[in-house]
Amino acid sequence: MNLATLDIAIVVIYAIGIFLLAQWVSREKGSHQKDAQDYFLASRALPWWAIGTSLIAANISAEQIIGMSGSGYVIGLGIASYEWMAAITLLIVGKYFVPIFLKNNIYTMPEFLERRFNSTVRTVMAIFWLGVYVFVNLVAILWLGATAVHTVTGMDVQTAVIALGVFAGAYALYGGLKAVALTDIVQVSLLVMGGLIISYIALDKIAGGAGILAGFHELTTRFPDKFHMILPSSNPNYKDLPGLSVLLGGMWVMNVSYWGFNQYIIQRALGAKDIREAQKGMVLAAFLKLLMPVIIVLPGIAAAALAPNLGRPDEAYPHLMAMLPSGILGLVFAALIAAIVASLGSKINSIATIFTMDVYRPRRPDTSPQKLVLIGRIAAMVALLIAIVCAKPLLGSFDQAFQYIQEFTGFFTPGICVIFLLGMFWDRCTALGALVAAVGSAVLSFVLKEVAPALPFMDRVGVVFLACLAIAVVLSLMQKPSQAALRVELKQIDYSTSTGFNIGAAIVTLILVVLYVVYW
DSSP string, 289-324: HHHHHHHHHHHHHHHHHH-TT-SSGGGHHHHHHHTS
Ranges 42-51, 151-160, 498-507, most confident: 498-507
Task: Check if the beta carbon of residue 337 is closer than 8 Å to that of residue 11.
Answer: yes
User: How high is the pLDDT of residue 345?
Assistant: 86
Write out pLDDT tens, residues 178-199.
877 888 888 888 888 888 999 9
Task: Check if the beta carbon of residue 76 is closer than 8 Å to that of residue 220.
Answer: no
User: How high is the pLDDT of residue 44?
Assistant: 86
Confidence of residue 15 (pLDDT cuts 50, 70, 90): confident
Distance CA 426, CA 417 (A): 13
Distance CA 511, CA 506 (A): 9
Distance of alpha carbon 210 from the chain centroid: 36
Domain ranges of the chain: 7-24+34-402+495-518, 411-479
The pair phi, psi for residue 272, each rounded to 5°, is -75, 155
Write out pLDDT tens, residues 260-287.
999 889 988 999 999 999 999 999 999 9
Closest by CA to 451, choosing from 440, 442, 460, is 460
Write out pLDDT tens, residues 212-224.
999 999 999 999 9
User: How high is the pLDDT of residue 338?
Assistant: 85
User: How high is the pLDDT of residue 280?
Assistant: 96
Task: Check if the beta carbon of residue 334 is closer than 8 Å to that of residue 190.
Answer: yes
Distance CA 470, CA 476 (A): 10
Write out pLDDT tens, residues 385-430.
999 999 888 877 665 555 667 677 888 899 999 999 999 999 889 9
**475 has a pLDDT exceeding 70:** yes
To 10 degrees, what angle do helices 275-306 and 499-518 make? 20
CATH superfamily of 7-24+34-402+495-518: Sodium/glucose cotransporter (1.20.1730.10)
Q: Is 46 helix (H, G, I), strand (E, B) or coil?
A: strand
The pair phi, psi for residue 106, each rounded to 5°, is -75, 135
Listed in sequence order, the residues at least 6 apart from 480 whose beta carbon sits closer than 8 Å to its beta carbon are none
Mean pLDDT over 439-458 rounds to: 91
- What is the H or E stretch that residue 505 is in? helix 499-518
Percent of the chain with pLDDT over 70: 96
Listed in sequence order, the residues at least 6 apart from 133 whose beta carbon sits closer than 8 Å to its beta carbon are 263, 264, 347, 350, 351, 354, 383
Task: Check if the beta carbon of residue 284 is closer than 8 Å to that of residue 52.
Answer: yes
Listed in sequence order, the residues at least 6 apart from 186 whose beta carbon sits closer than 8 Å to its beta carbon are 17, 18, 21, 338
DSSP β-bridge partners for residue 46 = 272
pTM for this model (two decimals)? 0.90
Distance CA 318, CA 340 (A): 15
